[in-house]
Structure 1
Amino acid sequence: MKKGYSALMVLLIIALICTGCSSSPDNPGESSPSFTNAEISPPKQTTESGQNITDRKEPLPSVSPEPQQKVLDLKAYFNGINGCAVFFRPTRNEYLVYNESLCNQPSSPCSTFKIVSSLIGLQEGEIVPGNSLPWSGEKYWNDAWNKDINFQEAFQTSCVWYFREIINRVGKEATEEALQKLEYGNSDISDWEGRLNTNNSNRDLTGFWLESSLKISPRQQVDVLARIFQGESFFAEEHTKTVKDVMKIETGDTDITLYGKTGMGKIDGKCVDAWFVGFFEIEGEAIYFAVRLDDPENKTVTSTVAKEIAMDIIFNEQWND
């Protein structure tokens, strides 16, 4: 009995020791793990490549409906000239096209490129409105170019030597990067000096944008213009406004405000590209357009004619339907 009693006491002591070692929720000196107090972070979303979405520098692409397209019969405005017209209305996500195949055909932008080169020059600090670039003293065919010239004068007289100098100062790398970001046609500046242009051998008056390596279609023109002037590009708002101001065209007392730039290119003395591109505002809506003429055998074709055709369409068609 004594041995049995001793064994019982030993078991009792062991039980008491074990109980004391276990923690109690009523004991303020100790605590047990609690999932309710733990900070649980949600799993990171990743792309297919495994890159964290929060680590991406560029925004994820948004899904938007495909734009609609309507074919217009604008033949009467062209008076027998082979040409095309495309209009883009962002508010309706809608293209209006005449001569669709030509609207999708890339060609040299010619002086319409001055819209973009102006913005690049402003963005890079090479164009300072009000400041002039010094004239070299060389006599050019356009008397308006034969002087020191500022940005506004250069744009409105389409002074090639001024923009040739600006692009040279910006440089190849920054120019190509800007064109690729804008998705400007083929973004090809490989013929930097414009040696493919057989119509002119004066390197002050040639460049990759003048019947050379850079190509863009009329439809791509309106896409680029919409990205820029809808505020969807990388250009600063103040620079976009500066270029918009010099693009403004006086049209008299109308409810339409017009902005645009002409462009023309020749090969073997024949006009192969005649452009007028830009946008107009009517009742708060901006509508982007490009008119291009492609009729080398027609001696009446010029960029002025392209501008006249575009303005006839803009001021005679109904845009409020």
Structure 2
Amino acid sequence: MNKLITMVFILMVSISCKTKTKQDQVKETVFEKRSDLQLILDSAQLDGAILIYDQEKDTYYSNNFEWSKKGFLPASTFKIPNSIIALETGVVKNDSTLMKWDGIERNFKIWNQDLIFKKAFQYSCVPCYQEVARKIGVDQMKSYLKKLKYDGMVFDSASIDTFWLVGASSISPFSEIDFLKRLYGSKLPIQKRTEAIIKKMMLIETKDQYKLSGKTGWASNGDDNNGWFVGFLELSDNTIFFATNIEPTESFDMKNFPKARKAVTMKVLNTLNYL
């Protein structure tokens, strides 16, 4: 009997040690601050953060992790969840659905025409997506945002078509990447058809070495400007997620702001040897 008890004890200890060894092998996510990434923003006369996530290495890189935790208006990056909800609710049928121009002349001439849904996304047509948001409505918008775990949006019936541009809504670069990871990994509770359409709409360029997908955003309130470029870079053996959030310094030439968001992101991806 004593021998049996001893054998059982030895077996339990052995199993416990094996389990512990296996748990010890589980890697923790790495957060690596890079001064060379800060130099890229400094040379461009920009403030902010560029957050990169390497899926294969389970590693985040950034010049400023504190900035990456802060919340900002999502601006036109919200067109990604807005498009998902539009497709899931049937407000928009597919990426070829025609968005009729309302006849109002706007500063961005490219918006002053009828656009199919895919082009409205790629041209970042604000009035097109304001109409989409109004058709979705407050209740459905809140319900789907909760379902998608896209938190931080603050709105009611009066702000249903502006809450991502002005007001108290906010999302951090970390949250942007979390959402994109779930979209890319088919972890969102949406139809496969919707997912495929969104990924098709987000595609920016395809080259031999990579596929780049994403969306820019720009929140402007008087002299305050905040810009985004979020998305993912598909390599042959890895996927890199990024969320760039920048603001101009006093010496920055604002005519360069539209291109700066993507430009600094691509420089960072190149510096990290992904391009």
Question: What's the counterpart of residue 185 of structure 2?
Answer: 230
- With over 3 angstroms needed to count, the CA separation of the structure-2 counterparts of 1:166 and 1:307, relative to structure 1, is same
Shift in Å, 1:191: 7.4
Partners of 1:223 and 1:95 in 2: CA distance: 12
Question: What's the counterpart of residue 77 of structure 1?
Answer: 40
**Contact 1:262–1:276 (Cα < 8 Å) also in 2:** yes
SS at match of 2:46: coil
Partners of 2:53 and 2:231 in 1: CA distance: 11
1:121-171 Cα distance to aligned partner (Å, 9 max, x none): 111111122221222211111111112221011011100111111111111
Question: What's the counterpart of residue 154 of structure 1?
Answer: 120
Question: What's the counterpart of residue 243 of structure 1?
Answer: 198
Partners of 2:28 and 2:154 in 1: CA distance: 27
1:30-80 Cα distance to aligned partner (Å, 9 max, x none): xxxxxxxxxxxxxxxxxxxxxxxxxxxxxxxxxx97532221220222114
Partners of 1:109 and 1:279 in 2: CA distance: 17
Question: What's the counterpart of residue 131 of structure 2?
Answer: 165
Q: How does 1:28-39 map to 2 (within 5 A)?
A: none
1:115 paired to 2:88? no
Higher RCO, Cα 8 Å, sep 6+? 2
Q: How does 1:115-134 map to 2 (within 5 A)?
A: 115-128=80-93, 129-134=95-100
**Contact 2:47–2:249 (Cα < 8 Å) also in 1:** no
Q: How does 1:144-223 map to 2 (within 5 A)?
A: 144-190=110-156, 192-193=158-159, 207-223=162-178
Q: Which has the larger radius of gyration?
A: 1
**RMSD (Å) for aligned C-alpha atoms:** 2.2
SS at match of 1:290: strand
**Contact 2:32–2:60 (Cα < 8 Å) also in 1:** yes
Q: How many aligned residue pairs are there?
A: 244
Question: What's the counterpart of residue 288 of structure 1?
Answer: 241
- With over 3 angstroms needed to count, the CA separation of the structure-2 counterparts of 1:153 and 1:297, relative to structure 1, is same
Question: What's the counterpart of residue 311 of structure 1?
Answer: 266
- With over 3 angstroms needed to count, the CA separation of the structure-2 counterparts of 1:124 and 1:284, relative to structure 1, is farther
Unaligned runs of 5+ in 1: 1-63, 195-205
SS at match of 2:229: strand
What is the TM-score normalised by the length of structure 2? 0.81
Shift in Å, 1:319: 4.2
Unaligned runs of 5+ in 2: 1-25
